[in-house]
Structure 1
């Protein structure tokens, strides 16, 4: 089954735990890069919800690919303050990813912590 369009499967770490705990800079794109980031974050902090969100993003990507959906997986981060600067950084990184691919839409995979803020940023 092939769905028309190309989708970006996206994990958003609004408070930047990924870079703070692993020194990995975002945006990161591609299954191997996202899996490496998820593994490194889980090893740095096994209780980190953002690590689970990264693995869930990979799982969603694999499920969609198995159905024949054209998609890519990526992750972006905000800043530790979780405020305006975090949202601006998330938006800037998403725009960077979107400029590299001809995406029909974004599928957000989240840890649930800042969903309302992230969704608002993605909608603008």
Structure 2
């Protein structure tokens, strides 16, 4: 059976599944039956999840290969990779930031961060689907 072509919605669903399988609670998502995510700095991410055990929020953003050079992507990667918990058990911790992309461009994320002159920190995780 041939693999279905990825689209933005299917990548968001994969992020939701990944977070759920990791024991996180999905709080908001740009996906059916979820409330819309709120703006973090300049943009709203595709998914916001929460770890009840340590009080840490997680950010998920889906990107198609053609979106990796866009200005909005630069702004999102910059803002979301630098977001810090303001209070609670995990206060001052950088939020884990997960980027979901089609497999064929997952290796390009490191170069994208370099091109945008954004430090690729350990809180940034790339998921190729």
Give the shorter-chain TM-score range.
Answer: 0.3 to 0.5
What is the TM-score when the length of structure 2 is the normalising length?
A: 0.37
